[in-house]
A and B are shown apart, each in its own frame.
Chain A
Amino acid sequence: MTIPGFILRNALRNKRRLGLTVLSVALSLFLFTTLQTALHELTQPPTSEDAALRIVVRNKVSLANVLPAKYRSRLERMPGVRHVMKLTWFGGIYKDKANFFPQFAVDSEQLFPVFSEAEIDAKQIQDFLKEKNACVVGNKTMERFGWKIGDRITLQGTLWPCDPELIIRGVYRKGIDMTNLFFHHEYFDELMGNKGLVGTYWIRAENADSVSDLIERIDRTFANSDAETKTETERAFQLGFVSMFGNIKVLLGSISTVIVFTMILVTASTMSMAIRERSREIAILKAVGFDGWQIFGLILAESFGLAVAGGVIGCGGAAFLYRNIDIYSLSHGVLLKLDVTPAILAAGMTVAAILGIVSCLMPAYTSIQTTVVAGLKELD
């Protein structure tokens, strides 16, 4: 027998309690991992080199306020600008409110130059450009509704008083959010009576070095106008967009804290019970020569092992599960994917390790403080 073997025997002596405790830690860490992953997905959209070149220009007042169509030509003339695209959030309903997916009216010719990382067949781009009421859709939304190229769909306007009738002419994959639908801004303008309204302008800069300067110049150009602009990188814009849902970070962070705190209580309670019912054995261990620190080491190792086992099952289980299920369908399009990153796994395992240490401190301290004689008296 070895000391680790002895610790293992002690841990396995009440298999049902051990199983339930590991399971409770595992479930809690599964939830923790899920929340952290969801938070990551919502607040840290995937970035690429192309995304770093994109700039979003919106009305300084709010996203709900529009910009004039005439800004486009002024933006195009600015040094450092390669492409300018109008992009207006349509936010319509497809058959039912539950069928939510993002829809945008865009400058069709600029769509794929601006979002150059999107993969789409060249022929489909041509078909999309040729037809006024054509649209391109991300493959996730195509799969979700079982659509195929050539299908006709009607979006019911909610923000805008029009109902575009669209024909699907292309499907894109990868690069950008694969749940989006893009249709011609010209068609949107026509339906709206050519009022020259634009939600946002999306700019692709010449190079990454010019981005910060360009942002500054754009806002300076439109300062003191009827529609002052707020220009920011795509990433900053997306984070700002997410924050419109409320302080998700604080909400999910609070839930995670409650989970961790509850876990500590559960594990500490289990360790206290396990140690209390072993108090006579701990006295014997001390009598045969184990000192306080060695006893503490035994208890710590058991508690740590228990928590880490729960962590491996919980965090590893979450990583495995989310890699193998279609979270997009299950979340009805709210989440594109749940990618448990190494950083999140490390955070989960760190929580498990801290849990293992913290939960045994009090029972271990009590057992160390108890003298051998006091422990032996409990035998009688």
Chain B
Amino acid sequence: MPEPIVQIRELTKFYRHGEIEVTALDCVSLDIHAGEFVALMGPSGSGKSTLLHIIAGLDQATTGDCIVRGVNVGNLSETELADWRNTHVGFVFQTFNLIPVLTAFENVELPLLLAKLSAGERREHVTAALELVGLGDRSKHLPRQMSGGQEQRVAIARALVTDPTLVVADEPTGNLDAHSAQEVLTLLQTLNRQDGKTIILVTHDPKAAAFAQRTIHLEKGQLLNGNGQSL
């Protein structure tokens, strides 16, 4: 079996609120392989978003290692992390988070402004990403001129445009109606199955988790086994 693309080793994360220390992740170890579609499930406060943030290089663990494609993310400086995220991670958020003054095309193009690509190359990548999510004809639309489902698909295109190692999606259907949520999850599943994208999905919805190949349950910062017991 090939080496995992993501290796989490004894990861802990504490937050300090004044005198009180809160444990968000408690000695979590986990492997994710290339081409997997993994759902991180758990109730609110279980640590699933914290784990996702650490894997995506948005947050630092208190102890333990998070190695993505051989790079220990915890050892990177802020500037290195920013560059790493641009190259290796595509983000999809619950609230879409498109820049309202930019068109769909420009929103998708945004991560590529940091890459050393010509305008023509950027155009090719963006067009391909928008075609992939089925919005090739909406490239000139502003976010306010699109439905929620369409906005989220633009966000997915933005996440894919740099061809990242990982696509991380934090409750991507939380703000969508049932039909749009189905469309978005199907799209993520298709990207995983047809294009081999490694996707990590955070959700508390079992229906959404069903689209993933593997579901990892968290509770109180710990991974649970299939019987609902801490590992």
The chain A residues found within 8 Å of chain B, CB to CB, are 1-3, 6, 9-10, 12-13, 280-281, 284-294, 371-373, 376, 379-380
B102 touches A1 (CB 8 A): yes
CB closest residue in chain A, given B82:
A291
Question: Can you offer 16 A-B residue contacts whose CB atoms are under 8 A?
Answer: A1-B102, A1-B110, A6-B106, A281-B97, A281-B99, A284-B93, A284-B99, A287-B58, A288-B85, A288-B86, A292-B78, A292-B79, A371-B58, A376-B53, A379-B94, A380-B94
* Besides A1-B113, A291-B82, A379-B97, 17 other A-B contacts (C-beta < 8 A): A1-B106, A6-B102, A6-B113, A10-B101, A12-B101, A280-B97, A281-B97, A284-B99, A287-B91, A288-B114, A289-B85, A289-B86, A291-B83, A371-B59, A372-B58, A376-B58, A379-B95
B102 A290 Cβ-Cβ under 8 A: no
Contact A291 B58 (CB under 8 A): no
A376 to B97, CA, bound (A): 10
Q: How far is the CA of A13 from the CA of B101 in the complex (A)?
A: 6
Whether the pair A288, B59 counts as a contact (CB closer than 8 A) is no
Nearest chain B residue, comparing its CB with the CB of A13: B101
Query: In the complex, A284 Cα to B94 Cα: how many Å?
Result: 12
In the complex, the answer to whether B78 meets A291 with C-beta atoms within 8 Å is yes
Closest to A373 in B: B59
A376 touches B93 (CB 8 A): yes
Q: Are A13 and B59 in contact (CB under 8 A)?
A: no
Query: How distant is the Cα of A93 from the Cα of B113 in the complex, in angstroms?
Result: 72
Please list the residues of chain B having a beta carbon within 8 angstroms of any beta carbon in chain A.
53, 56, 58-59, 78-79, 82-83, 85-87, 91, 93-95, 97, 99-102, 105-106, 109-111, 113-114, 158
Q: How far is the CB of A251 from chain B (nearest CB, A)?
A: 45
Total residue contacts A-B, CB cutoff 8 A = 75
Closest to A1 in B: B106
Q: Beyond A280-B97, A288-B91, A289-B83, is A9–B102 a contact (Cβ under 8 Å)?
A: yes
CB nearest neighbor in A for B106: A1
Q: Please report the C-alpha to C-alpha distance between residue A365 and residue B105 in the assembled complex, in whole angstroms.
A: 30
Q: Kindly list chain B residues whose C-beta atoms are within 8 Å of the C-beta of A281.
A: 97, 99
**Residues on A with beta carbons closer than 8 Å to the beta carbon of B101:** 9-10, 12-13
CB distance from B168 to the nearest CB of A (A): 10
Q: Which residues of B contact A289 (CB under 8 A)?
A: 82-83, 85-87, 111, 114
Task: Specify which chain A residues have a CB less than 8 angstroms from the CB of B100 in the assembled complex.
Answer: 13
A284 — which chain B residues lie within 8 A by C-beta?
91, 93, 97, 99
B95 lies within 8 A of A288 (CB): no
A3 to B111, CA, bound (A): 11
Return chain B residues, CB-CB under 8 Å to A379. Answer: 93-95, 97
What is the CA–CA distance of A19 and B162 in the complex, to the nearest angstrom? 37
Which residues from chain A contact B58 at a C-beta distance below 8 Å? 287, 371-373, 376
3 tightest A-B contacts by CB?
A289-B86, A291-B82, A288-B111
Nearest-CB residue, chain B, relative to A9: B101
Q: Which residues of A contact B99 (CB under 8 A)?
A: 281, 284
Q: Is there an interface contact between B102 and A286, defined as CB atoms closer than 8 Å?
A: no
A373 touches B85 (CB 8 A): no
Q: Report A-chain residues with C-beta under 8 Å of the C-beta of B85.
A: 287-289
- One of A2, A12, A280, A293 near B113 (C-beta < 8 A): A2
State A379–B92 Cα separation when bound (angstroms): 13
* CB neighbours of A290 from chain B (8 A): 82, 114
Q: How far is the CA of A9 from the CA of B109 in the complex (A)?
A: 14
CA distance A267 to B99 in the complex (A): 23
Q: Tell me how far the C-beta of B228 lies from the nearest C-beta in chain A, rounded to whole angstroms.
A: 27
How far does the Cβ of B82 sit from chain A's closest Cβ, in whole Å? 4
- Could you tell me the distance in whole angstroms from the C-beta of B84 to the nearest C-beta in chain A? 8
Tell me whether B79 and A291 are in contact (CB under 8 A).
yes
Q: For A286, what are the chain B residues with a Cβ–Cβ distance below 8 Å? A: 82
State A280–B91 Cα separation when bound (angstroms): 14
* Most A C-beta atoms less than 10 A away, residue of B82, B86, B87, B102: B82
A2: chain B residues at CB < 8 Å are 113
**Closest residue on chain A to residue B95 by CB atoms:** A379
Shortest C-beta distance, A373 to chain B (Å), equals 5
Closest chain B residue to A372 by CB distance?
Answer: B58
B53 contact from A12, A292, A294, A373, Cβ within 8 A:
A373
Which residues of chain B come closer than 8 Å to A287, judged between CB atoms? Answer: 56, 58, 85, 91
Tell me the nearest residue of chain A to B158, going by C-beta.
A288
A288 proximity list for chain B (CB < 8 A) = 85-86, 91, 110-111, 114, 158
